[in-house]
Amino acid sequence: MARNYRLVVFDWDGTLLDSAGAIVACMQAAAIDLGLTPPDERTARQVIGLGLHAALAQALPGVPAGEYPRVAERYRHHYLSQDHELSLFAGAHELVEELSEAGCLLGVATGKSRLGLNRALEASGLKSFFHATRCADECSSKPAPDMLLEIMDELGAAPELTLMIGDTTHDLQMARNAGVDALAVGYGAHPREALQAERPLGLFDEFAQLTEWLRRHG
């Protein structure tokens, strides 16, 4: 099904940036710092893409809500100590640049904080390519449609001409709730079978496959 999209919106962690493993490790380390039972890897991966406090509420359900700021502080400590070592997936920078040169409007909808996304955009060298971005501390957390709706409104893009790309079921459900098409990548946080159950337009196990699809249909 060949379609031309005016606006392409990417998730960040696990979609453009190879960071899912680091996020899991930092979440577990934060819990250990405070003497809490750390979430197992599957549980930690499941909450990637949500806002930090929403993620902690699901990953550490027995912890009083009043403790989340302390866990969040320890998570940020661990993440910021090594986020400079994280890198984009091979081909990500080239794809974003290629889409920009082709005239696509580009956006980011992420569970990161505004401060965290700004740091990541600067470090990756991709900041200049994105026309609009929304973060979890600015909008309702995925899978609510708010991030996509605000980006579309800001850029004047209709839902039928907008495409969301992400590595979690939260991304795909957000896209459905906003009335836009979605692609899934299976190399990030959520397992392939969970992504497939959301019936995305395409599901790709390698970044090169995503690039090829966008060259044909994007």
Q: Report residue 103 as tokens.
A: 């005239």
Question: For residue 21, what are its two tokens?
Answer: 């493993």
Is 181 part of the annotated catalytic residue set? no
**What own/partner pairs with CB < 8 Å and gap ≥ 24 does 74-79 have?**
74/29, 74/30, 74/33, 74/34, 75/26, 75/27, 75/29, 75/30, 77/30, 78/25, 78/26, 78/29, 78/30, 79/22, 79/23, 79/26, 79/116
* Active-site pick, 11, 18, 167, 171: 11
11 catalytic per annotation: yes
- With contact defined as beta carbons under 8 Å apart, do 174 and 20 qualify? no
CA 198 to chain centre: 16
Contact 184, 174 (CB under 8 A): no
**Helix, coil or strand: residue 45:** helix
Q: Taking a C-beta distance cutoff of 8 angstroms, is the pair 86, 15 a contact?
A: no
Q: Which residues are catalytic?
A: 11, 13
